[in-house]
Amino acid sequence: MKEFSFFSPGTLDEALSLLSQHKDSVSVIAGGTDIVLELNERAHTAQAVVDISKIKDLRYVKVVDGVVRIGALSTFTDLENDPYIRDHVKSLYSACYYVGSPQIRNLGTIGGNVANASVAGDTPTALISLDATVVLRSAAGKREMKITDFYSGAGKTQLEKDELLTEIYFDAPTENMATAYTKLGKRKALVIVVIGLAVLLERDCNNICSKAQVVIGAVARYPKRLPSIEHYLVGKPITKETFEGCRDMFSQIVYDMIPTRASVGYKKESVKGVANKTFNSILKDFSLSGGEE
């Protein structure tokens, strides 16, 4: 482990001022489930480490005027145990539930999961399907952007060294919406995602799909919206048959994303099963036949 200065600010203002002072070489630690590994493996070279875990104001889940606001320091366990998230934002609930193990979920934060931008992050996939917005603060001010834009940088996020991701928010799913997230891994816990699929669907009063947001994770470098699937779904009745009609599209999409990767053979087949599980969960949420029993 290389030497570094360690700071543990108690307030957001203090943290932002530390980040601007040390912005040439600084890392932020929250739950530490990613960064401590990097420190131990000597991969980490920042001269200053700012521990934000004592900033209690950044740990909350609230619904205000139809918008769900999540403080960046909320842990996966916080979200998993939040009754609103569990009952109304199933995709995010599942994404949190399937992270690592209880110990990791007790420490790991949603802000860290988003900001760390691991190819295998679970919550970013769900958050993109919810069309979430991230709030970034620095001593100089505040900016907001869609999480899809946040990930649009070449290999990195849009987060500047003096900025802190403080909040993630998205429109609360309405009564006419259902969400789901499926994680395919090599075992049931403590496992890195092989494919993550998050879906948000909206239906009108005739059970016709009026909005679809479909995101695949762990295939490309960042989770990706799938416009062709979304386009296919909108305007069609929400039925098992409709969903079955796009299974082969998923397969082709995965193949096109990673045609030369050794895992492509498995991923392009198994994605069909992942899509099935995800759509079954949607059907069940809409209380339609064909959903999981």
Q: Interface with other proteins includes 269 (CB under 8 A)?
A: yes
62, 85 Cβ separation under 8 angstroms? no
Q: Where does residue 239 rank: exposed (0-12), middle (13-18), buried (19+ CB within 10 A)? A: middle
Site for other proteins in 93-152 (CB under 8 A): 101
The residue behind tokens 């999409």 is 253
CB of 276 to other proteins, least distance (A): 6
Q: Interface with other proteins includes 188 (CB under 8 A)?
A: yes
Task: Return the number of the residue (191 or 288) whose C-beta is nearest other proteins.
Answer: 191
Site for other proteins in 234-263 (CB under 8 A): none
Q: Interface with other proteins includes 184 (CB under 8 A)?
A: yes
Candidates 270, 284, 286, 291; binder of other proteins (CB under 8 A) is 270
Distance CA(197)–CA(199), nearest Å, equals 7
SS (H, E, C) 103-144: HHHHHCEHHHHHHHCCCCCCHHHHHHHCCCEEEEEECCEEEE
Distance CA(24)–CA(17), nearest Å, equals 13
Task: Return the number of the residue (86 or 272) whose C-beta is nearest other proteins.
Answer: 272
Candidates 20, 81, 158, 276; binder of other proteins (CB under 8 A) is 276
* Cross-strand pairs, 183: 196
Candidates 190, 207, 237, 256; binder of other proteins (CB under 8 A) is 190
List C-alpha distances in Å: 178 to 72, 85, 239, 289. 24, 12, 13, 15
Task: Return the number of the residue (266 or 286) whose C-beta is nearest other proteins.
Answer: 266
Task: Return the number of the residue (42 or 188) whose C-beta is nearest other proteins.
Answer: 188
Q: Interface with other proteins includes 274 (CB under 8 A)?
A: yes
* Token pair recorded at residue 6: 């360690």
CB of 269 to other proteins, least distance (A): 5
CB of 222 to other proteins, least distance (A): 21
Task: Return the number of the residue (132 or 283) whose C-beta is nearest other proteins.
Answer: 283
For residues 25-40, one letter each, b for 16 or more C-beta atoms within 10 angstroms of the residue's C-beta and e for the rest, the string is ebbbbbbbbbbeebbe
164, 15 Cβ separation under 8 angstroms? yes
Distance CA(130)–CA(220), nearest Å, equals 19
Give the per-residue contact string, 30-69, with other proteins (x = CB under 8 A; - = no). Answer: ----------------------------------------
Residues that bind other proteins (CB under 8 A): 101, 184, 186-192, 265-266, 269-270, 272-274, 276
